[in-house]
Amino acid sequence: MNEKRILYSECLEIYNIEKTFVDSLNESGLINIVMEQELEYVECDDLEYLEQYIRWNRDLDINIAGIEALHHMLQRINSLQEELSQLRNELAFYKR
């Protein structure tokens, strides 16, 4: 876990987003909200994803369920690309 965090309230102000939207992302497991000393924080590592989810929601009008589906689909694509790369490397090794 990265120790770099931003206050949850500051995050809402900076991105001009509703608390319910971020809470829904947290409940879906797409971002993490951390409690420390009675203050809520968003991990800085999650900010890139949060920005992407905000764009999907605002620009493409995608709801939380759609965002969750897209996130999982992109994770699967990345996993398959890594597997393909590994298999290509193995094949190149055996072709020598």
DSSP letters of 12-76? HHHHT--HHHHHHHHHTTSS-EEEETTEEEEEGGGHHHHHHHHHHHHHH---HHHHHHHHHHHHH
pLDDT beyond 90 at 94:
no
HSE-CB at 1 with a 13 A cutoff on CA atoms is: 9
- pLDDT above 90: residue 95: no
In this prediction, residues 10-27 reach a mean pLDDT of: 95
- Summarize pLDDT for 40-60 with one digit per residue, the tens: 999 999 999 999 999 999 999
CATH domain 5-95 topology: Multidrug-efflux Transporter Regulator; Chain: A; Domain 2 (1.10.1660)
More confidently predicted of 26 and 2: 26
Indicate the pLDDT class of residue 1, thresholds 50, 70 and 90.
Answer: very low
Give Rg (Cα) of the chain: 18
More confident residue, 2 or 61: 61
The pTM for the full model equals: 0.82
Percent of the chain residues topping a pLDDT of 90? 90
